[in-house]
Amino acid sequence: MFFLVWGFLVWLGATAVFRFFGQFFFSLEQPLLLVAAYVGVIPLILSLTLPVYRYKKLERRERQKAAVLIALPGMLFDVVVLLFFANIFVNLDPEMDRIFASWLLWAYSAIVLTGFVPAKKIVT
């Protein structure tokens, strides 16, 4: 349950950021910022997942399951969000919906892949 809640909170925070500041990231007039959104999400996701796995002392199989549970709430909610993209993200050009959807797939894939990153062994 913890990872589902964490995933929901991550989704809620990201959705709020893009609702209010998305025009700075998703604009074809500013391709460098668009590329930065794709590149920048990787360290952000690593910082939102790997420390949680360590905190919860998860083994490899548990990490994979946790990664899926973190990604799942956002993936499900974003189905609805993308259907109403123009109404929710009024600050974004409606034509950016496919770019945004592409970014979401990239981000959710990155979350799932964090479950396969080997845990560092602590040597004592």
pTM: 0.88
Instruction: For the chain, 124 residues long, give each residue's pLDDT as a single digit of tens.
Output: 999 999 999 999 999 999 999 888 888 888 899 999 999 999 999 999 999 999 999 998 999 999 999 999 999 999 999 999 999 999 999 999 999 999 999 999 999 999 998 876 655 5
Where do the domains of the chain lie?
Answer: 2-114
Separation between Cα atoms, residue 22 and residue 121, nearest integer Å: 39
